[in-house]
Amino acid sequence: MEGRSCKICLEKVELWNEQCQGCGYHLVLEPDEKLQARYLRAPSLGALFWTQGWTFGARLYLWFLLSLIPVFGLIALFVCVFFGRRWSWKYGGWADWEEFTERMKVMDALGLIWILGLLIGYGWLRFSGGL
Ligand SMILES: [Zn+2]
């Protein structure tokens, strides 16, 4: 999926945009495309909870490396929460939409398990007198 072209000015338009960046023409999206656009614009919970694991699973390897550096890790967290899905879809080299959304689902679940694990681990140490 490489995106579409605007019917008016023939400029290439990214999949998740509903408006042409070239002329502002409002593109009519098919229901499927609309769903995809909404999905790609949604924030990614996996990236919020577990940036390193998420960027790796999302095949954003450059962001994975950046996220290992303390200050950049925080930047990576924010940009990947908001733009991660779009970048992953664009640069991840996914075979199809299903493969991509399956992976996103798994990574979001892993992020949730990760953060719950941290909280439980912290709570256990804190209240069992370990700390
Ligand atoms: Zn246009």
pTM exceeding 0.95: no
The residue among 77, 85, 83 whose CA lies nearest residue 39 is 85
Number of domain units in the chain: 2
> Quick one: tokens of 123?
């709570």
Residue 2 has pLDDT above 50, yes or no: yes
**76 plus 92 within the same structural domain:** yes
- Ion ligand 1: residues, CB within 5 A, are 6, 8-9, 11, 20, 22-23, 25
Residue 131 has pLDDT above 70, yes or no: no
Report the SS3 class of residue 114. helix
**Chain segment 58-97, per-residue pLDDT in tens:** 999 999 999 999 899 999 999 999 999 999 999 999 999 9
Query: In terms of residue numbers, what domain contains 30?
Result: 1-41
In whole angstroms, give the CA distance from residue 27 to residue 100: 24
Query: How many angstroms is it from 40 CA to the middle of ligand 1?
Result: 21
Query: How many angstroms is it from 19 CA to the middle of ligand 1?
Result: 8
**67 plus 130 within the same structural domain:** yes
**73 plus 13 within the same structural domain:** no
At 1 the pLDDT is 45
Q: What is the DSSP string of 35-87?
A: HHHHHHHS--HHHHH-HHHHHHHTT-HHHHHHHTSHHHHHHHHHHHHHHHHHH
**47 plus 32 within the same structural domain:** no
